[in-house]
Every structure is written in structure tokens, then in C-alpha cells.
Structure 1
Amino acid sequence: MVEKLYTQLLDKIPDIKTLKKLHSKILLDPKLCSNIALGVKLMRAYSARGHSIITRHVFDKIPERNVSIFNVMIRSYANNKLYSDAICMFRTMCENDVKPDQYSFPCVLKACSGLGNLRVGLQVHGLIIRMGLDMNLFVGNGLVAMYGKCGRLVEARCVLDEIPRKDVVSWNSMVAGYSHNGMFDDALEICRNMEFNGMKPNDGTMASLLPSVSNTTIENVEFVIDMFRNMEGKDLVSWNVMISVYVKNSMSNDAVKLYLEMETCGIRPDVITIASILPACGDLSAVLVGKRIHYYVERNGLLPNLSVENALIDMYAKSGCLDEARKVFDVMHSRDVISWTSMISAYGASGQGHNAVELFHKMQRSGLVPDSIAFVSVLSACSHAGLLKEGKFCYKMMTEKYEIVPRPEHFACMVDLLGRAGQIDEAYSFIKKMPVAPNERVWGALLSACRVYNNMDIGLVAADNLCQLAPKQSGYYVLISNIFAKAGRWKDVTTIRLLMKDRGVKKIPGISNVELNNQVHTFLAGDRLHPQSDKIYEELEVLVGKMKDAGYVPETDGALHDVEEEDKETHLAVHSEKLAIVFAIINTEPGTPIRITKNLRVCGDCHIAAKLISKITGRAIIVRDTNRFHHFQNGICTCGDYW
């Protein structure tokens, strides 16, 4: 009766305090102390509580050990990530002529997986084959996982194919193998095979995908969406995977919508969720959602956390909220190079080059060594602010002091830096001396400078190279056309338009996003799909009238449009950023800053318009285009009309 009572109590796996009391009473009773069944129960109870050392003490007191007792000890080590101890125990079992069984091998294979120990894994596989257990489901699953973790994916797939009756774990193990090795598309292909073979993906499948989520095809994104939506009782990891898929594939609006849906479903985000969704908020300048997430992070004690703090800095920086980004930066307990680089980049993109350079030197004084990305940030900051002397100094420091080999990004920054200063000839000479072939970003920086300073000769050289390197990039054709238009060479403008048509190059439609009440509103040029379209166009017409009274003349020569000349003025008036700005004016209180994100460079006409609107309405307007931030206030832009 006493033995039965203790057995029942141990089966419930009591808390550690109660467990130790039971253990003490068992040790005081010689009869109970020699009971092997109770010894095994104690081992399992301690192991479940993560106490592998005490589990080992109990194991050592058992005089006669069979395969089941060894299995409990190996499992205890493996489940508590003491993988080397698990392998040693397996060896001890074999040395003591205790024959392993189908329950021994999954545990020791888990230990091999945890260590990435292929050598032992191969030895264990050989023993499995000799014992005829290679067709066993649990053993096979362990082999798939082991080979996957060790990067032997061909072998893992062979084992999977040979398992006669696969279960969900079999497929998930193969998914995890591809994912662990960064092969997201291959992992998704296994998910497809899994569904084809009648197995429904589950939360474990999604968890296996998480480490490798990356940019993929639209078909694969749609497959993951369907897989996610068809799952029942989704856990947090599944939501994290889906958010990450959206973010990695530039579907930021969908990511934010899904995050809000997750909140509605009562799923509490963790640090992985937060670090994933904040970049999407930054991409959309969805600062209201971002601030709400920041509040959640602070309220729930998720700080300090380096990845979350870096994501917060990035989100605020991309939203043009430099003060908020700096507040996060200043209160961090520890900072890595990413933290400093994000803040430097934030200052640079907003035209605050002196602050960026000062912070860069402060980072060096803190003892951190800047990497190549940090130098891209500081050089870009110098470029945006026109700090020629400082930029040259930083470039020299990078190449001579830190001996960092310049990459195309560094070369592009230097060309842009020289070009902004009007030193077109020096910029062109710099390109000709480059040790590697210049890429499209380098030539693009030179072409932009030629447009601003009307350098036709070098501009045509840059244009010729760009047409060869990026024959489908419509933005470069626009720049080339603008150079010809400024020079009054209208035949050449027509030639560029015809060349675009012949090559099948289409101008990417401009898209502008603006956030209101935690929802991101998206506008296209000439958009009339928005519910408030009538009101927006009425207000825009009034605003254009006020702008013209203030001296506004539409810049019809500065942009390339596939419309007739007489329609250009009308077309310019309904560009996406103008619609987004007017929408924000209508729906927010006077004086509220307006934040817009644009998928293309701001055109010259919209830049002029935004300056005038900021003065007429008394609003600060922050526009982030693909090149930089434009902070419009009282008729002035921080970019100095160079972008």
C-alpha cells in the first residue's frame, strides 16, 4: 500500500519542495529505497523539473540498471540540453552490454542534433541499421532532425522518403532541417508535399519555418497565408511567422493589419513579435501603432532587450520622430553597433549631418569598432548634409585606420557627396579610379548630380551606363528626361519616352501612405477609390488656388508622364503625396504634424507644393521617399532642394 501511494504521488510530478520531501521519506525506508520502480519514478519527476544532477544521483543508487532506466537518464540529459552528458550515458549503456531500443535512439539523436555532432550521429545511424530499427517512425524522425541540424539535407530527405508511414513530426523535422539551413523556399516545398500526402500543417510546422523566413515569390507568400488561415487554434509562433513573412516580403501594411488582428484575438505579443512588427510600422510611418507597441513593451517589462530597443529606434527614425528615437537610444543599458548605426542613419536621412558625425565619433570613443555598414550611414549622412570635408575624412578613416575595403555602397556615397558639392568632374574621376566596376547606384548618384547642376556631357555618360546596367529601371529614364527637359532638348525627351516604350519600361505608379487612427491609408496618383475622395478633391482644389496666389506654378517639365502636354498640370495636381497630405489636413487637428511615406522619389512639383502647403496651413509635413526624409516647415525643406 505504501509503495502504491508513493507511486501515485510521484506520477503527479509534484513541485520540487514536495518532491524532495517524498524523496527523503523514501530514503529513510530501506524497503522503499531498494524499490527500482520508485527509483525510476523519482528520476522522471526530477527530470521533468529540470534537475538532471539529482536525477543522476538517483540513477547512481539503482544497483541493477536496465534499458528503461538508462533511457530515462539519457532523456533527462537530452531534454535539459545536456547533450554531451546524454551521449556519454548512451556510450556507458552500450559498454555495459545494455542493448538500446527504439526509445533510446530518438533521445541520443536529439543530443547529436543539439551539438551538431554528425560523427556520432553517423555511428548511431549505423547501429540503428544493424538493429533493424531504421524503419521505426520515432527513430526515423530523430534521424531526419539530426541530419537536418548537421546540414546533411540530402541524407535527411533520403531518411524521410524511407519512413513507411510518416506523421506530422516527420514532415516538420524536414521543414526544420531546411529552415535551420536558411532554405525557406525548400522548406515551403516540404509543406506542400506534406499537404499533398494528407498531413495538415500545424503550429509545429510554422515554428519550424520561423528561423528561415525570407524574401520569396508571391506564390509562396500566398501559400503561407492559406496555410496560416486554414490552421485551427493558432499559437503565438504561427502569428509571428506570418507577420515575419509579410515584413520580409515588403508587405508592411498587411503585417500591421495582421498584428492588429492578433491583438483583437487576444494573443499577447512577445519580443519576437515586437522586433518583427516594428520595422513594418517604420516602413509605413505608422507611428501611432508604433507608440502603442512601445507602451506595451514598457508596461509588460520587455525592456531592456537589445533587439526590441534597436527596432524601436529604427521605427521612430523611419517615421521621422528623431526625438523619440534618441530618447530610446539614450536610456539603453547597453548598445551594439546596430544601435549606434540606426541612430546615425536617422540623423543622416533627416539632413542632420553634424549630429550624425558627432554620434559616429562618440560611438568610437565608447570603444565600439564601426563596421562597413556604420560607415555607409555616416558617409550617407555627410552626403545628405553636404559635409564634403567630414565625408572625405570618414572615408579616409575607413580605408586607412580600419582597413575596411570599400563596397559599392561606400563608393555611391562618395560620388553623391562630391556631386552634391557640385564637383561633378571630381566625382566622375573618382568613378574611373574605382577598383571595381561601378554599379547602378554609383552611376545613379552621378546622374542625379548632373541633373541638379545641368552637366549634360557627364550626365549622358552616366545615362548610357545606367541604360546598360538597369534597362528596366524607370526612375533613371525620368532623371535622363529631366536633364534634357531642363536643357530644352524636347526632341531628346520624346526619344527617351519612345525608348521606354520600345523596351517595355513602365513608370512605377507613385504610392503614398498616411496613418490615421491606427489605420494606414494608401493613395495612388489620381486615386478616387478612397471613401473621402470627393471631399479630398474639393479641399485640394481650394488649396491649389491658395498656392497659386502664393506664386505656385506647376513644374510640368520636371517629371516624365505618359500623358499629353496639356494634361500635365492636371496630372501633377493629383499626385499621391498631394492627396495624402490633403487627407491628413481634413482629418487631423490644426497644427498636427503630417507624416507621409512614398515608394518613389518626390517629384519636383510635389516638393514645391509641399513647401507652400506647409506655409499656408502652418503644418509640419514629413515625407519619406526612397532617398531621404523631407521635413517641410514654413515653406522650407531640410533637404535644401537637393535629393
Structure 2
Amino acid sequence: MSLHAKHLQKAENFPPSLFSSSTIPTLRGFPSANPLTARIPLLPRSHSPTSPLSLLPSHYLTTQTSPLWTHCHQFRNYTYFTNVFQWNSTLKARIDAGFFECALSLFSSMLAGGGRPDHFTFPLVARAVSALPGRSGLTKEIHSLGIRLGFSGDGYFRNSLIGLYGRCKDIVYARNMFDEMRDRDVVSWTTMISGYIQSGDILESFRLFHEMRTSGIEPNSVTLAVVIRAFKVEKIVDGGRQLHGFAIKRGFGSQELVQNSILTAYSKMDCFEEAEKLFHFMEERSFVSWNILMLAYFSAGDFFKVVEFFQRMMAELYPSPETLTLVISALSKCRKHRMGQQIHCYAVKRGQIDMVLQASFMDFYAQCADFASSFSLLEEVGKLNCSTPWIVMMWALVQSGQFIQVISLFQKMQNLGFEPNAEAMRCLVTAYTHLGALLLGKVIHGYLVRHQLSAESEAERLETSILNMYAKCGNITCARRCFDNMVYRDIVTWSSMMESYAIHGMGLEAIKLFHQMQEAGVSPNSITFLSLLSSCSHSGLLYEGCQVFTSMTENFGIKADLSHYTCMVDLLARAGKLTEALNLIHSMDVKPDWRIWGALLASCRVHGNIKIGECVAQRMFELEPDNVGYHIILSNMQAGGDQWAKAEGIWKNIKEIEFKGRPGWSCIEEKGGFSFFVAADYSHQRAEDIYETLKYLGRNVQEIKCL
């Protein structure tokens, strides 16, 4: 039985209400300055019989105003719609605005009111369904309805369904429809190739592209853009270059769609030189082209390059809100406070501030330690019926080390009537983790269990955060119990459990868990191997760690980055193989930073190797000349080797350095509260008892050493 025949059996009693949804956006979801919402009160008058606009044809008036009706909560009567063109126009407006559930509800109203979709309606509905993962089950119902209405032979309808099946990861149904098509055009082939790429079957997409050309169908610009995406996913650099040349020969090299696709591919494959060369020769560069390159440099951690390209972009065209969001994120990493303020003023003057950009500015000011400005922005948007600004502010405080303020902000958020969602609680758990607040963390865990949030997909990351909290607060048993009780375990969860074993020096348990993960069919990523290497380093498993590092590159094809090399240097240095560790740093294909030199310097002190230690310390001073800690480590190392003159010289340098950092602190949790301690500080109300206890412990330690 053919695929169409199977669906035809289910089509007779097709329920229009299947597409209905209670998720209808209201006016309060839009900013008051929105020009669309500002005109909404005028719409009922424009449809009034006494309005001068009533002289226009009714179908024209309704079609022109339907994008505005799309945003209006009052609009429930669709009797104005007399033809399918009006329905399609409103459907498209809702989908373009991102109201996918609302679009499905409108489609349901169309069917219930006797409206008959045409072959342009189904691609719109397919777009809405594919954008809603929870609605993917409607795909076959849409297919059935199309057959019932006589579109089984319509190429436009079939291509839309192939694309929908592909986006919903039902590649078998998509291929069956494709194989049943007699007249397959370039759109059919392109849609099927895209489906294979989305399902992860890159080799089949290449094979189908070759079959398409041998069958006499020549690719268009969209086809090339799709195939280029496959090379990007697999990071096949030579293939990407060949396809670039093919596009130029076929006359597609100057088309913006193809150019942007190739630009994205080069950027994702870390071919920045070729990406910039292509960008330079582009005749017309839209803000999309600029954003692609800036996003690539942002992902690579080159934030100053992002700022440089933004400044060049401003000379050619106005940036989009997406561009401003990206640049502000880069400026927060660079701590360029003054420039961020200028961009903020620019965005306000141009009226480009939306909720996402506002949240980005909040995070930026917090990262630059300008909490007054950050809280001021929160006051502007914090009373809206949206918890996103609060969560953004909480995460910004976490990253700035303001953990007590995170707790206060969470309580204030609750007092205003916001229900704590999984993301807000995850932020709170992270703050508790840094404070070592095990008891308060257990309260959140209890809330999670009582409200059965573990069954919700959004709670997966929260459960992983609770697992980390138990491990970092010293309770590895509860961490493992939490891991075993999780309904769904992804790669992040497995890696987090391995990291937990690393914290507790249980390297063999981490390796055992790695093998269990592979048996469960979960493929490791770079973070997984980072957790494994860290476990081996903290457990002194030199042989096993070297095996893991070799396996990562040779068996799994994962390229080692600076973090992996840092773990390997730490592993070798802890084992006393300081020369091998130094040679590894010199042989790396990435530039070393202070972390990797710091790992080697610490081991040089432990093993008393002053020669290598002085060499490493010199590199450290070049990278961070004002860091007092490295000077102290070197001076202690020299003093331990009876090089008192050198040690005294280091201490003179230390006194000349203006130490601007925050003093070290620690805290303990007691009776639901926290007590903070700072070195050489007597402000605590029980300071006398604390220092007496410290002296007592010091005497006991000395007695143990004497024994």
C-alpha cells in the first residue's frame, strides 16, 4: 500500500480542532512602543461601514490589515475572511511573527468555518508545525488532510510534506514520498537532501546530490546552500572549497544566499583567512554577512575581532538588534564599559531596544561591575509579566561572584509573584554550590521531587546542577544517587558525573563510567574527555590518562584544545615528569595561556625543580605581570632551595605591585545562614573565638609534624 493510501484511510474523520491551541498571545506581550499595537484600536473603525476605507474591496482591506489583526487579542471573529488568500496572508503574518501555536489555532478556525485550504496553505502550516517540536505528531494528520482535499498529486504540497517529515526527523516517510513522486523537480531533490542533513545522514545527502546531477537536474542556489551546510557539519574543508569553485563556475558565486552559506561554512571550519577573503570580495554585504563573521570570531573567543568588525560595519550600514546583542556580549568579555555605554545610547536613540537586547545590556553592565546600571535596567522591565530579565540578572551575579545577591534577587522575584521555573532554580542551585550550602541545596532538590519536575524536559539541566552541587559540596554518594535516578541522561549529565569523580580523586570510577556511557550508546564529546583527563590527573593515573588522550584524537577524532593540553600538562607534572610536560607545551598547536603555565609552576614547586620553575615563572610574569600569587610561588620555591637572595628580590617586586584584586574569602553554612571569613580580618562578631581556635589547630598540627 502506498504512503498516500495509508493516510487516505485516516482522512475521513479528520478533526479540525486538532490544531486548536489555548496559547493565544495578548497585547501585554508587546512593548507599548510597537507601531503595530499602537494602531490596533483603529482597526475596528477601519472595518466599520461608515469608514471611508469601506469603499475599498473588502478582501483587499482585510488582507492589508490582517498582519495587524495577528497581534490583536480581541480578534476572534474571522467572518471578514471570504477567500483563501486572506487566510493565507494572516497565517503567514502569524508565522513570521513567531506565533506558531497561534497560526495552528487560526488554521483550525479556517477548517471549522468551512474554509478550504489551497496548495499555498499547507507549506505555511508545515512551517508552524516544524517550529514546534511538541506538535510534530500533526505531520501525518496534515498529510491525510491534503490527500482528502485532492492535493496528492500537487508537487508544491508534496515538497512541503517531504520537508516537514525531514525537519521532524521522520526521514523514512520523507524518502517514501520522494520515491513515489513521478516528476521530481530541483525543489524536491533539494528538500530531500536537506532532510538527510537534518537527520545526520551526511553521506546519504552527498550520494543524493550526485544522483540528482546524474539524473539531469541541475542544482540552484538553494541546493548549493544546503549542500554547503553538509560540508560545514562534517568540517570537510577541501570539499567546501571544491563546492565554492563549482558555485562560481555555475554563476552562483555572486548570489548572497550562496556567499553567506560559504562564509558560514568557512567560519565553522576555522578557515578564517578564506572567510575574510570571501567577505572582502563580496559586492553587497548585508547585516547577515557581517553577523556571520562576527559570530564566528565570537565563538572562537576572539572578542576584539568582533569589536573591530562592528566598527567597520558601522561605516557601511546600520546594525540590526541581533548585531548589537552579539557585540554587547563581546564587549562584556572585553570589559569595554565605555564603548558599551555608547552602543546602549545608540540603540535607545534608534528605538532598537527589545527584551533580548535589554537583557544583554543588563548582563554587560554586571560583567563590567556596574551593578547600579544593571539593576536600573532590571527595574524598567522587571515588573513585566516575564521572568527572563530576572534570570539574566541572576546569572550575571553568579558570574560576578555575587552569590548572596543571587539568593536575595530570587526571593524578591518570588515576592513579586513569579513562579520559580527550572532555569531560575538552576541559577539558585549554582549559587548554593559556590557557597557550599549543602542544606539549602537539598531544599531545592526536595522541591524538585515534590513537584515532579524531573519528568519535565526543562528540568534536565536543573537535575544536572543538583548533581554538581552534591559533588562540589562533598557528598559524592548523593551525587551518584541523583545520577542513577535521572529519567533522561544526556552527554552533559554523563560528563558532569565524571567531573564529580574527578573532584573526589576517583579516577578509576570515572573511567568505568565512561565505558558504561559508551555501552548506553552515548557518544563522548570534548567536555567528556576533559572530565576524564581531569579525573586521571587528580588521581595520579598517568598511564590511563595518556591512553585517554591518545584515544580522544585517534579513535574519536576529537581535536585537543587548550583545556585538554592543560590537563595533560598537569597530569605529567604531578607525576614528576616536568621536562615532558614542558616539551608538550612547546609542541602544542595552540597558544599557551596562564592556566597551563600555572599548572606546571605549581608542580615545579612541589618537586623542587627551580630551573624549570624560573623559566615558567618568567612566562607567567609576561602574561599577568600584576598577579601576586605567581611571585609568591616562585619566591617560596627559591627559599626552599636556599636561594635567599633571589627570594628577597621577588618580595621587593611584590611590594611594588599594586594589588587590586578582591581579598580571598571563605564561608560556612550554619542554621540556614552564612558566615564569611577574610584573611587578617577581625570584623566578625566572634573573631576572638575564631582566632583562638585557629591557634589551637595550628599547635596540634605542629605536634603531629614533630611526631
Contact residue 178 and residue 184 of structure 1 kept, 8 A: no
Task: Indicate the structure whose relative CO is greater, using CA pairs within 8 Å and at least 6 residues apart.
Answer: 1
User: Structure 1 residue 149: deviation in Å?
Assistant: 13
Q: Pick one of 635, 647, 650 that aligns with 1:493.
A: 647
Q: TM-score, normalised by structure 1?
A: 0.58
Residue 224 in structure 1 maps to residue 374 in structure 2: yes
Q: Which residue identity does 1:228 align to in structure 2?
A: L
CA RMSD of aligned residues (A): 5.0
Distance 1:254 1:482, change over 3 A: same
Deviation at 1:47, TM superposition (A): 8.1
Which of 254, 275, 280 lines up with 2:426 in the alignment? 275
2:538 to 370, 379, 384: 384
Distance 1:200 1:422, change over 3 A: closer
Matched, 1:423 2:577: yes
Give unmatched runs, 5+ long, in structure 1: 1-13, 17-35, 90-109, 121-145, 162-172, 554-611, 613-643
Establish whether residue 321 from structure 1 lines up as the match of residue 475 from structure 2: yes
Alignment of 1:615-634 (within 5 A): none
| Change in 2 beyond 3 A, CA 1:351/1:74 | closer
Structure 1 contact 351–385 (Cα < 8 Å) conserved: yes
Contact 1:178/1:187 (<8 A) preserved:
no
Pick the aligned partner of 2:663 from 489, 505, 509. Answer: 509
| Alpha-carbon shift at residue 225 of structure 1 (Å) | 1.3
- 8 Å contact from structure 2 (residues 362, 393) kept in 1: no
Note the alpha carbon deviations across 1:351-383, whole angstroms, 9 max, x for none: 111111211222222222222222121111111
Q: Quote the Cα distance in structure 1 between the aligned partners of 2:573 and 2:256.
A: 57
Higher mean displacement: 488-497 or 173-182: 173-182
Output the CA distance in 2 between the equivalents of 1:184 and 1:266: 33
Match of 1:515, SS state, is strand
Corresponding residue for 2:99?
Answer: 81
Match of 1:623 in 2: none
Looking at structure 2, the residues matched to 200 and 406 of structure 1 have their Cα atoms a distance apart, in angstroms, of 41
- Equivalent of residue 309 in structure 1, options 451, 463, 468: 463
Q: Does the C-alpha gap of structure 1 residues 482 and 78 become closer, same or farther in structure 2, counting only changes over 3 Å?
A: same
Contact between 2:601 and 2:616, CA under 8 Å: does it hold in 1?
Answer: yes
Aligned-residue offset at 1:433? 3.3
Question: Matched residues in 2 for 1:320 and 1:547: separation?
Answer: 23
| Structure 2 counterpart SS, 1:513 | strand
Q: For residue 566 of structure 2, what is the aligned residue in structure 1?
A: 412
The one of 400, 414, 429 equivalent to 1:249 is: 400
Tell me the residue number matched to 1:209. Answer: 359
In the superposition, relative to structure 1, how do residues 539 and 219 fare at CA in structure 2: closer, same or farther (>3 Å)?
closer
* Distance in 1, Cα, partners of 2:524 & 2:562: 18
The answer to whether residue 704 in structure 2 is matched with residue 551 in structure 1 is yes
User: How many angstroms does 1:227 deviate by?
Assistant: 2.4
Q: How far 1:480 sits from its partner (Å)?
A: 0.9
**Superposed CA offset, 1:117-144 (max 9, x none):** 9999xxxxxxxxxxxxxxxxxxxxxxxx
Relative to 1, partners in 2 of residues 1:176 and 1:208: Cα closer, same or farther, differing over 3 Å? Answer: farther
Asked if the contact 1:388–1:421 (Cα under 8 Å) also holds between the matched residues in 2, the reply is yes
1:496-551 deviation line (CA, Å, top 9, x unaligned): 11223345457863211222233333211022122332332344444445555x43
SS at match of 1:303: helix
Q: Among the aligned pairs, what percent are the same residue?
A: 27
Instruction: For residue 434 of structure 1, report the CA deviation from its aligned partner.
Output: 3.2
For the pair 1:465 / 2:649, whether they are aligned, the reply is no
CA gap 1:233/1:174 in 2 versus in 1, 3 angstroms: farther
Residue-by-residue CA offset, 1:393-439 (whole Å, 9 max, x unaligned): 10110121122222222222122112222222332333343344433
Question: Using a 3 Å threshold, how does the CA distance of structure 1 residues 497 and 221 change in structure 2: closer, same or farther?
Answer: same
* Count of aligned pairs between the two proteins: 450
Relative distance call for 1:174 and 1:399 in structure 2 (3 A) is closer
Conserved in 2, the CA contact under 8 Å of 1:151 and 1:181? no
Residues 506 and 193 of structure 1: is their aligned pair in 2 closer, same or farther, counting only changes over 3 Å? closer
Cα distance between partner residues in 2 of 1:543 and 1:248 = 34
Which residue number corresponds to residue 506 of structure 2? 352
Q: Tell me which of 413, 418, 436 is aligned to 1:285.
A: 436
The runs of 5 or more residues in structure 2 that have no matched partner are 1-19, 23-57, 108-126, 133-221, 223-254, 258-285, 293-309, 332-338
1:559 match: none
| SS of the residue 2:704 aligns to | coil
1:189 Cα offset (Å):
5.6
Query: Whole-Å Cα distance in 2 between the matches of residues 382 and 354 of structure 1?
Result: 8
Closer, same or farther: CA 175–216 of 1 in aligned 2, 3 Å = farther
What letter matches 1:392 in structure 2? Answer: C
